[in-house]
Structure 1
Amino acid sequence: MQATNQDNFHQSRESLEKKASEDIQEKIVAAILFCCALISVLTTFGIVFIIFQVAFEFFQEVSFAEFFLDTKWTPLFAERHFGVWPLINGTFLTTAIAMSVAIPLGLCSAIYLSEYAPPKVAAILRPAFELLAGIPTVVYGYFALLFITPLLRNFLPLEIFNALSAGLMMGVMITPTVGSISLDAIRAVPRSLREGAYALGITKLESIFKVVLPAALSGISASIILGISRAVGETMTVVIAAGQQPRITVNLLESVETMTAYMAQISGGDSPRGSVNFKTLYAVGAVLFILTLSLNIVSYWISNRFKEKYD
């Protein structure tokens, strides 16, 4: 009897020691994960702090009125102007072209892979489709400059560097972003909704546009907003193919300069550190940060506002 009690005591003690060891391991893992998350948060806050700190110094020398009301951007010229609107115009122009390509291509691809493609075909096409997102953006830029532009110049009076070629290649580059998220949103729609639509006698195409797409509106809208955010922040493609001519124009055939292209230009090291020209990098970066943050907030709001929940 005494031996049995001792065995039970040893087993209980070993169990408690094992549980204590597991608790310590869990706490160590939790601490490591917390540190990783904290590093990400602190890095983000550090970037934002530096950007807005130098941007504040810039606005000590250049007024808000000159920055937001002037229509010329020539900070590197003898007659300097700091109106940011030409850069914003170039960014929005190339983004509009890109989304006019990415939205129909991405959405149609998502509809085909979800509703029409056989499972084996979809299993092959989706990885191939998403492979476009893995191509370096510099490759897209040179492809636009050396192939798309010469091809289009056979039909249109394009400048060597132009918004159209850059926007078209950006659209192809962003298509996987729009298509993949839209595909996940469409596949998340319950099969019962489709079957209910078929029971009412409507065709498959009608069920897609009247039932499936409205039910997946939240995810599709989020994919479009994220695609716009990606286009606004794209750098290498517009640096190589769109040019560096800041101007306010809606002519797709002309050269324009985007905010990211100007930031890449200043980052080359030609402007002395601490000069006004150097500080324009952070001022433009602050505007770009606010734009992308606003787009992400809108995407998050749309996702929650139009989110459908099914049992």
Structure 2
Amino acid sequence: MATVRVVEVVRETADAHTLVLEPAGGERWDYRPGQFLTLRVPSERPGGAARCYSLCSSPVRDPRLKVTVKRTREGYASNWLCDHVRAGDELEVLPPAGTFVPADLDADFLLLAGGSGVTPVLSILKTALHAGSGHVTLVYANRDEASVIFRDELVALAAEHPDRLTVVHWLESVQGLPTEVGLRALAAPYAAREAFVCGPGAFMDLAAKVLQDLGVPRERLHQEVFTSLEGDPFAEVVVPLDDEGERTEVVVELDGDVTSLGWPAGSRLLDVLLAAGVEAPYSCREGACSACACRLLEGTVELDHNEVLDATDLAEGLILSCQARATSPVVKVSFDA
């Protein structure tokens, strides 16, 4: 958990505000393009309120962190942040997390975004143009021209990189809702590229179907999905590490270090790691975001809840540390693999 200071609030559209942030302690945060922050939102509701917002800044181009918040109808967190946050305010956040990240910035990219789903996509786009060597095509769907977040920034980037960046807008006010035929025509010339998709559920489903039908393999199709958090990921969970009782030996690889711990029976892996001072990545703690995903190298576990890993992920050994309970005497996992 950390504190960030709001340096500036930028009104992108009537419904979307960008918060320009800096760590309150003055330290520099490392993050990867496409990752997100989890913000604590003041609330008197039991369990508090926390939401995940993608970083729209680039770690190699922008001097400060930026997240963009778009109002949603009856959305407590988004409306509170847009209505109340001002320059000089401080917010509690969890460190940058998420796996919606390109493995190779020199690759060619096809980016498909709908509405505020452009926020992590913009981070990837700017970083690839600044630190990579490939070509980037963005297909960006919105209700109308006034709803286009980052409109001026995209125009400037296209002028700065005319030979490498292509931006195609789909406006519902002009073309109607995105269609399978229309998206297929736009995406087909770029089906050999790394594809990143983010936006409302219906847009994501349509874009994924189009790309799959075009033959884009699973390993080149990346999707970012957020769900509203029900609990408080900032809450401290007490794990009795020193109590006698049944426990599993867990060996953890993280950032090149190897740690061996006793894992008390019935506890979740992430809770054990955090209680032991191991700074494992996480965000929602509800099995809904994959920020805490790691690879099971040895032993067995069971997951209490899982909304993000599919059968292929599980077969490849991926697990969610926030939901994993040990079912074998020895477990070995890696956050690096």
State the TM bucket, normalised to the shorter chain: under 0.3
Task: State the structure with bigger RCO (CA 8 A, min sep 6), 1 or 2.
Answer: 1
TM-score for the superposition, normalised by structure 2: 0.21
The structure that is helix-richer by fraction is 1
- Give the greater-gyration-radius structure (CA): 1
The structure that is strand-richer by fraction is 2
